[in-house]
Amino acid sequence: MTMHGVFVTIEGIEGAGKSTAVSCVAEWFTEHGYDVLCSREPGGTPVAEDIRRILLTSTEEELAEPAELLLMFAARAQHVARGIRPALEAGRVVVCDRFTDSTRAYQGAGRGIDSGVIESLAAYAEQGVRPDLTLLLDLPVEIGMARASARRGTSSKDRFEREAHAFFERIRAGFLRIAAADTARICLVDASAPIERVQAQIRAILDDRFETAR
């Protein structure tokens, strides 16, 4: 079936400002007359949000790496089938906080899982649903961590936030490699700038990509 909507994903390390960027992108499309669905991964549907709880907060036993990868894709398969694809088929804009590039960066570059395994699971879970545009919010790891910890306050860290600094450096480098290999889809945003400047960069990209297409 043909899909008429627009699928935009937001990527980056923690504290990059992805949630803030999702609102900015949603606002731009709403102002331009589109019907927008904001979502996130892992999660986005009731079943996928159940899987998210296991992935982020499970502490009863250590999650094995293959299990973490398969749970990410189980959540994604459910989100695509029950959330993203129906919205795109209805002509809506879907703005998603993280998608498969996060798996490539976290489970691939971060944990060292083979890219062949990741790409074959991606093809199976996505069933042809691919982002039209991805905004990669890039910034130094220290700045992202400082922002995330300021926002977190006294609440406890999730499974990923407890990882060492080097893990996040591998992920940032992984994201940059992914972006360099797919410049047609992925636009880099300097996320170390103040919020207003980040939002101006995002709006300029959307003006450039979608205003002339209307």
In this complex, which beta carbon is closest to ligand Z5A, that of residue 181 or of residue 213?
A: 181
Sole window of 29-37, 59-67, 99-107, 202-210 interacting with ligand Z5A (rule: CB under 6 A): 99-107
In this complex, which beta carbon is closest to ligand Z5A, that of residue 20 or of residue 45?
A: 20
Q: Which of 109, 187, 198, 206 touches ligand Z5A by CB under 6 A? A: 198
Q: Is 14 in the site for ligand Z5A (CB under 6 A)?
A: yes
Sole window of 16-24, 29-37, 84-92, 180-188 interacting with ligand Z5A (rule: CB under 6 A): 16-24
The whole-angstrom separation of Cα 89 and Cα 161 is 35
CB distance 7 to 96 below 8 Å? yes
The whole-angstrom separation of Cα 182 and Cα 106 is 18
Q: Is 97 in the site for ligand Z5A (CB under 6 A)?
A: yes
The whole-angstrom separation of Cα 18 and Cα 31 is 20
Q: Is 18 in the site for ligand Z5A (CB under 6 A)?
A: yes
Q: Is 146 in the site for ligand Z5A (CB under 6 A)?
A: no
In the chain, what are the helix, strand and coil shares in percent, each to the nearest 5? 55, 15, 30
CB distance 175 to 100 below 8 Å? no
Binding mask 34-73 for ligand Z5A (x = CB under 6 A): -------xx-------------x---------------x-
Sole window of 15-23, 78-86, 122-130, 175-183 interacting with ligand Z5A (rule: CB under 6 A): 15-23
The whole-angstrom separation of Cα 75 and Cα 140 is 29
Give the residue carrying structure tokens 């994201």: 175
Q: Which of 3, 6, 8, 16 touches ligand Z5A by CB under 6 A? A: 16
Nearest to 126 by CA among 99, 105, 107, 92: 99
How far lies 172's CA from each of 8, 11, 89, 166, in Å? 20, 10, 33, 10
Residues of the shown chain interacting with ligand Z5A in the complex, contacts defined by CB under 6 A: 12, 14-20, 41-42, 56, 72, 97-98, 102-103, 106-107, 147-148, 151, 160-161, 193-195, 198
